[in-house]
Amino acid sequence: MNPKQLYDSYQEYKQQFHNYINNIKKNSPWDIYTIINATLIKNPYASDFPLRYFQRNTPIFNKTSIFIKSLFKFYAKNIYLYISYIIATILYKIFYKKYRKNELKIIIDTFGLVDKTNETGSFQENYLVGIYEIFEKFNTQYAILLRLYKVGQNPFKLINFFRLLIKIKENLFLSMNF
């Protein structure tokens, strides 16, 4: 399409284009995604949708095939995550055998970076640095509740992680919502 044909198409369909985008804006919720959406602000430099619209080159999608493909992706991903969670739970039951030594008075809820702990060979919590020395100085009993982070892709890296945690003398408890 040459520039004159594009201009003529713009003149013919501009009102229809603006009505189309404005109706989408009116009916969509106001959130960060609709505010920064380049198509909904009609920016031809950030999106190729206006050019494709005026060239009358918008693809026609088969809604049934898109639905089936999206449904398959959704269930495949969730089945994978569920199986990963089951494997992680089984590994937890097999490899993590640490029992509480004292009464729980203070519980510190923090994240356990599985990859970093496996790389360094020791657990280091970087958020409340120095507080554990203060607890030990005043003989305060505490426990650390770890929320495991970066486990979802490979639950088998938990084997080494659990073995490292068993060697630590502090009271560590795990939250199994990873």
Q: pLDDT over 70 for what percent of the chain?
A: 88
Q: Is residue 63 part of a domain?
A: no
H or E stretch including 95? helix 63-95
Task: Report, as an integer, the average pLDDT of 1-30.
Answer: 87
pLDDT range class, residue 76, cuts 50, 70, 90? very high
Q: Are 138 and 105 in contact (CB under 8 A)?
A: no
Task: Report, as an integer, the average pLDDT of 29-34.
Answer: 80
Q: Is residue 23 part of a domain?
A: yes
Instruction: Pick 152 or 4 by higher pLDDT.
Output: 4
Strands of the 142-149 sheet, one edge to the other: 106-113, 142-149, 172-175
Domains contained in the chain, number: 2
- What pLDDT, in 10s, does the model give residues 96-150? 766 666 666 777 777 777 888 788 887 777 777 788 788 888 887 777 777 777 7
Q: Is residue 115 part of a domain?
A: yes
Q: pLDDT over 90 for what percent of the chain?
A: 10
Q: Is residue 123 part of a domain?
A: yes
Do 41 and 106 fall into the same domain? no
Distance between CA atoms of residues 109 and 146, nearest Å: 6
Q: What per-residue confidence (pLDDT) applies to 164?
A: 80
Residue 98 phi/psi, 5-degree rounding, is -125, 135
Q: What per-residue confidence (pLDDT) applies to 175?
A: 57
Residue 71 phi/psi, 5-degree rounding, is -65, -45
Q: Are 142 and 171 in contact (CB under 8 A)?
A: yes
Do 110 and 164 fall into the same domain? yes
Helix (H, G, I), strand (E, B) or coil at 86: helix
Do 110 and 161 fall into the same domain? yes
Do 99 and 170 fall into the same domain? yes
Q: What per-residue confidence (pLDDT) applies to 68?
A: 94
Q: What per-residue confidence (pLDDT) applies to 57?
A: 77
Do 170 and 114 fall into the same domain? yes
Instruction: Pick 110 or 73 by higher pLDDT.
Output: 73
Do 100 and 163 fall into the same domain? yes
Q: Is residue 70 part of a domain?
A: no
pLDDT range class, residue 173, cuts 50, 70, 90? low
- As given in the structure block, the two tokens for residue 92 are 């937890």
Residue 145 phi/psi, 5-degree rounding, is -100, 110
Helix (H, G, I), strand (E, B) or coil at 111: strand
Task: Report, as an integer, the average pLDDT of 69-94.
Answer: 90
Beta bridge partners of 173: 145
**Domain limits for position 117:** 95-175
Distance between CA atoms of residues 58 and 60, nearest Å: 7
Q: Is residue 125 part of a domain?
A: yes
Q: Are 145 and 177 in contact (CB under 8 A)?
A: no
pTM for this predicted structure = 0.50
Q: Is residue 87 part of a domain?
A: no
Q: What per-residue confidence (pLDDT) applies to 145?
A: 76
